[in-house]
Amino acid sequence: MATNFNKLSERDLQGMIQNAEKELNTRKDKKRKEVIAEIKKLALSIGVTVEISDIGNKSVRKGKKVPPKYRHPSDPDMQWSGRGMKPTWLKELLAKGNKIEKYAIKK
């Protein structure tokens, strides 16, 4: 199945990539399940039970997104949750002598 990628539109290429990634993930998941089943089977054959955690392939950080606490005064798309490093825009405003409370999002 030779495909001439030069003749495909960007949209078609993106669709092919997404389909290929989906198929690859499906195959990886299937293989992972097969290997885990084989490990459990082998362990059981010697009288041992195993519990396999599958966190290596998934994000360890779980939870909901933190809502923004601060907003740029002239660009509402520039926001900061108060976690992690301060964004450059906020550092610059604070360096000018402004107080952080001035940019707090009122609830």
What is the rounded average pLDDT for all residues in the chain?
88
pLDDT tens track for 39-71: 999 999 999 888 887 665 555 566 678 899 999
Q: 10 Å Cβ neighbour count for 16?
A: 13
How many alpha carbons lie under 13 Å from residue 77 in its C-beta half-sphere?
0
79 contacts 72 by C-beta, under 8 angstroms: yes
68 contacts 76 by C-beta, under 8 angstroms: no
Q: Where are the domains of the chain?
A: 8-57, 70-103
